[in-house]
Every structure is written in C-alpha cells, then in structure tokens.
Amino acid sequence: MVKVSVGITVYNVEKYLRECLESVLNQTFTDFEVIMVDDGSTDNSFSICQEYVARDDRFKLIYQENKGRGQAGAKNTCLKHMTGEYVTWIDSDDVVDNNYLERLLEVQAETGADIVRCVRKYIRDGNVYFVKGY
C-alpha cells in the first residue's frame, strides 16, 4: 500500500495536462500513486496520460466512456482503484507545488485532522493571488 493516492480525472485537457502531470512527477514526497481516469476525451489527453504511465510505474490509467455526469463518475472510478492510506485530488488543468504532498502530510501529522485542505493560488501576469475558500 502506498501512503497517498492522487486522483486525476481527465477530459479534453491536452493544453494543460503535461504541466499538471509534471508537477505531480516532481513531488518531494515520493510514496504515492496516481490514478488517472480519462472520461472519454476526444483530444490527445489519453495519449499524454499513456506517456506518463510508460515513464513512471506510479502512474496508472483507466479509460471509460464519457457518462455525461461531469467528474463524479470518473472520481468514483478513481476511488475503486486507489490503494493509498490517504487520498487527494488534483484537477487535470492545475499545477501543484513540488512540496504539495509533503505539506499535506505534515499538516495531517501535526494536527491529526481527518481532512486537510490547502489554499489555492492563481498566477497571472507574474503575480500570485491567494484564494480563500472555493
């Protein structure tokens, strides 16, 4: 069993996907698996995911026909294949800091919390904006 399962649902995000997957690949904490579920993409997203599966055996890819229910069906498929002690979700058009998993686990260990959230930040025109809440 791995420490952290990272779930990434994928649907027509070829423009952003490599940057997202690179940010996961570059984590300082390395005891994780990535479960990617391609929900019937019609662009090159599935092929990009296959590249990462070939590069790193922590990356696993499941393809399913698009069910037309948004991310819920793909997330449920992710959950069926996850083996980690902890679960986190990363949107396929997002990029996480290299210490993302490390910091989540540190905060969990310090607080004993069942759920740990982090602040989102947007980077536009070289400026960083922190967003509270969702």
Number of H helices, E strands in the chain: 4, 6
pLDDT of residue 110: 96
Q: Where do the domains of the chain lie, and which CATH numbers do they carry?
A: 4-131 (3.90.550.10)
What H or E segment, with its residue span, contains residue 127?
strand 127-131
Q: CB 21: neighbour CB atoms within 10 A?
A: 24
Fill in the amino acid letter for 88. T
**pTM for this structure?**
0.90
pLDDT of residue 125: 75
pLDDT digits (tens), the chain, 134 positions = 999 999 999 999 999 999 999 999 999 999 999 999 999 999 999 999 999 999 999 999 999 998 777 789 999 999 999 999 999 999 999 889 999 999 999 999 999 999 998 777 666 677 776 676 55
Tokens 């391609």 label which residue?
38
pLDDT of residue 120: 72
pLDDT of residue 9: 97
Residues 6 or more apart in contact with residue 94 via CB below 8 angstroms: 16, 20
